[in-house]
Amino acid sequence: MPDTDFRALRDAFGRFTTGVTVVTTREAGGTPRGFTANSFSSVSLDPPLVSICIGNNAHSAPVFRAAPHFAINILCEDQQHISALFASHALDKFDRTEWVEGLHGAPLLPGSLATLICAQHRLVEAGDHVILIGQVLETQTSDAPPLGYHRGKYVKVGSVKTLSTT
């Protein structure tokens, strides 16, 4: 694909409505780290695997590559400010929001729609990103409207209603 078409490709990708997550871990010295991502996906139920994509040029990429454990915090509609904070380059993200320590020291964001604590299963190099595959060790869920993202903006997903499959 010619370089001039990257904007068109990014626009096409943006048409896919996603949920919003904050992925968290700890540096080797114990400092919590995290970033906002909408490139989250379930991979397998048996074994329970999930994936998240991290840009190779992301400031926290080396930390996540080395981390044996991490957490995925799936955000609810009321956590848009947390998404924006963790999407920023702020150095004091964890000082500016409430968090608790989960299994294996993974930082968890209270009020999240769901949290998944994972052990690093595999890293897969993929273009300008690395795909971090994690094996889910523990989950927590709550009921709230999810935070959505579409065409570069936060969106309300609305009530979940089953559509006919016919």
What is the tens place of the pLDDT at every residue in 62-104? 999 999 999 999 999 999 999 999 999 998 999 999 999 999 9
> What is the three-class DSSP state of 82?
helix
- Which pLDDT belongs to residue 164? 55
CA distance 130 to 22: 17
What is the per-residue pLDDT across 98-139, written as a single tens digit (0 to 9) for each? 999 999 999 999 999 999 999 999 999 999 999 999 999 999
Q: In the structure, what pLDDT confidence band is assigned to residue 13 with cuts at 50, 70 and 90? A: confident
The DSSP secondary-structure symbol of 28 reads: T
- Which pLDDT belongs to residue 157? 81
Decide: 133 and 126 in contact? Cβ < 8 Å.
Answer: no
Q: In the structure, what pLDDT confidence band is assigned to residue 160 with cuts at 50, 70 and 90? A: low
CA distance 54 to 40: 10
